[in-house]
Amino acid sequence: MVNKRKTTLVVALIAAAAVIILAWRPTVLIYGLQAAGLYASIAVPMGLILGIVHIVNLAHGEFLMVAAYATYLLCKSLGIDPYLALLPVTAVTAGLGFVVYKLTIRQTLKAPELNQLILTFGLGISMTQIANLLFTSQTRKLSFDYVSASIDIGELSFGVYNFVFLGAALLMVVGLRWYLTRTTAGKAAVAVGQNPRGAAIVGIDVDRTYGFVFAMATALVGMMGAMLITRSAVFPTVGSPYTMKSFCLVAMAGIGNIPGILGASILLGVSENLLKAFRGLRGWADIVFFVLIITVILGRSIRGKKA
């Protein structure tokens, strides 16, 4: 009962904040939502891995970077659009994810959690540095006309292309929800996530499920890497910031809560753009993530102690 009242209060507060922002600077809300789409669509695959395989993949952003480079090379050599390259790139990163899982992560599943953390850290560094070795640290950019599409409403003019990422995020959340609750393989994956030993006892192949989920998550990241190239330049460390941001969002939403990631992304995207709206505070926008991540993690640990 109390909980319900609390939820209503929170929803009312959020709605009020949204209305105020909309009246004052509508672009903050629009660009905030667009940024939220990008953050959420990259964070959801990490949430999937964390929720089912229970691995913090610190090489998450690096898979994004590999996909972006693959898309860049494909588009450059064949002259095609990134959205055409999306399918082959997704297949490639899924394969890469599967191989990486089989060769490395699988070996440390039984080891202490710290080993897994250090392992994925090392994987991330290796991938960034291999990109450095192959492509140097030079930034590369492809430009497309449709990216600059904009809409005018009254006096307001804003870019609409980036809403594509919000669409992708929504699609991902809905698709995963359907997969995890309606299909047999998805239900099995949830069972493995909840209790690997119990799942093994009732006859689910845990190892195969882990491998499949890992590959699926990297495929989704690969898809986002292909889409990322339409709006961002490519360089070896392009993915690194997203690892931290994704973990932050997953931790905020709570492990295993995939729709919650979308909500957390909207909170972050909007507050980041709110800071950017003030000229003097623009440089501080990056800090929002880190302050939020620490607040959330500490808040959770303190609440956990009380309970």
- The reply to whether 122 sits near other proteins by the rule CB under 8 A is yes
Q: Are 232 and 238 in contact (CB under 8 A)?
A: yes
Query: Is residue 28 a contact point for other proteins (CB under 8 A)?
Result: no
Q: Of 90-98, 125-133, 165-173, 265-273, which part binds other proteins (CB under 8 A)?
A: 125-133
Residue 129 interacts with other proteins (CB under 8 A): yes or no? yes
Q: Is 305 in the site for other proteins (CB under 8 A)?
A: yes
Note the residue count of the chain. Answer: 307
For other proteins, which residue of 24, 146, 278, 284 counts as binding (CB under 8 A)? 284
Identify the CA nearest to 53 among candidates 92, 3, 98.
98
Find all residues with CB under 8 Å of 146, minimum gap 6, and list them: 161
Residue 7 binds other proteins (CB under 8 A)? no
Residue of 78, 91, 171, 291 that binds other proteins (CB under 8 A): 291
6, exposed or middle or buried, with CB in 10 Å at 0-12, 13-18, 19+?
Answer: exposed
Q: Please name the amino acid found at residue 297.
A: I
Cβ–Cβ < 8 Å for 161, 250: no
Q: What is residue 54's three-state secondary structure?
A: coil
The answer to whether the CB of 106 falls within 8 A of the CB of 120 is no
Alpha-carbon distance of 265 to 248, in angstroms, equals 10
Question: Closer CB to other proteins, residue 177 or residue 300?
Answer: 300
Rounded-to-integer distance, Cα 134 and Cα 108, Å = 29
The contact pattern for other proteins, residues 236-275, with x = CB under 8 A and - = no contact, is: --------x--xx--x------------------------
List the alpha helices (DSSP H) in 104-239: 113-135, 163-182, 184-194, 196-201, 206-228
Answer yes or no whether residue 277 interacts with other proteins by CB under 8 A: no
| The only residue of 23, 133, 153, 201 in contact with other proteins, by rule CB under 8 A | 133
Helix (H, G, I), strand (E, B) or coil at 45: helix
Question: Rule CB under 8 A: which of 151-180 touch other proteins?
Answer: none
- Residues 175 and 158: their CA atoms lie apart, in Å, by 29
Q: CB of residue 96 vs other proteins: minimum separation in angstroms?
A: 15
Of 8, 78, 80, 126, the residue at the interface with other proteins (CB under 8 A) is: 126
Q: Which listed residue (132, 144, 163, 260) binds other proteins by CB under 8 A?
A: 132
Least distance in Å: CB of 129 to other proteins?
4
- Residues engaged in binding other proteins (CB under 8 A): 56, 104, 107-108, 111, 113-115, 117-119, 121-134, 136-137, 244, 247-248, 251, 283-284, 286-287, 289-291, 293-294, 297-298, 301-302, 305
